[in-house]
Structure 1
């Protein structure tokens, strides 16, 4: 592949990430929860509400130690519970609480009211957005595997109209 493409993909993805992160950080300030912690709540809400730290790590593309660090304040604030797995004593189970779900649904409500989240895209057609997503899916399939891509694209929140 030409270096031109590699360089511009890296620069574009990085710039888009920082545009998104800026908006996500605003939400974090409003609700006193970091973007990464918001993402943990999303992962739990879209995956039967209970996962192991390793599963959260895989879906969130973090190291397990990062997940452990991010979960501590969520547990202290009552947004998640962490208990030993009764069937596998070396494993823990992380479950989102009602308070965590309530907070996350407040955040989602704010996002749904903002057409500019994660960044301005209203000027793009559905065909353009589908093309962008298809390219991202191919890159994810090669680099992270189809299982992760399927978890990402099949993640749905109950009670949300995705159309």
Structure 2
């Protein structure tokens, strides 16, 4: 792949990311939860509702101190529970509480109603794909 194509691809990905980040930020203000906190709830929901802080950091591309700060705020809001791993006491397990699941459901319900989030993709549902 030539350099110009790589640069254009990177710019397109960054533009989509910033568009999505702005939308998640707007939604976050409405529900009083940051995009990063929303992302943690989503990560938990897609990983059997159990992750270690280390794994959350890997999946979210965050420094361990950032994960700790985010988890403390989510725990204070009672959206997550952080427990000590019974098999390995040095390790913690993070899971979503019922309140966290409800908050995530509210966020997802809001996004479902936004036809143009993260961008207008309505035309894609009209496309036909053929397998040869």
2:26 counterpart of 1:26: yes
Instruction: Please identify the structure whose Cα radius of gyration is greater.
Output: 2
TM-score, with length taken from structure 2? 0.88
Show the counterpart of 1:73: 73
1:114-125 matches, within 5 Å, as 114-124=114-124
Show the counterpart of 1:54: 54
- Kindly indicate whether the alpha-carbon contact (under 8 Å) linking 1:82 and 1:93 is maintained by their aligned counterparts in 2: yes
- Give the aligned length: 128
Structure 2: 5+ residue stretches without partners: none
TM-score, with length taken from structure 1? 0.72
- Kindly indicate whether the alpha-carbon contact (under 8 Å) linking 1:78 and 1:99 is maintained by their aligned counterparts in 2: yes
Structure 1: 5+ residue stretches without partners: 129-163
Distance 1:115 1:66, change over 3 A: same
Question: Alpha-carbon deviation of 1:123?
Answer: 3.2
Show the counterpart of 1:146: none
Question: Alpha-carbon deviation of 1:83?
Answer: 1.4
Show the counterpart of 1:3: 3
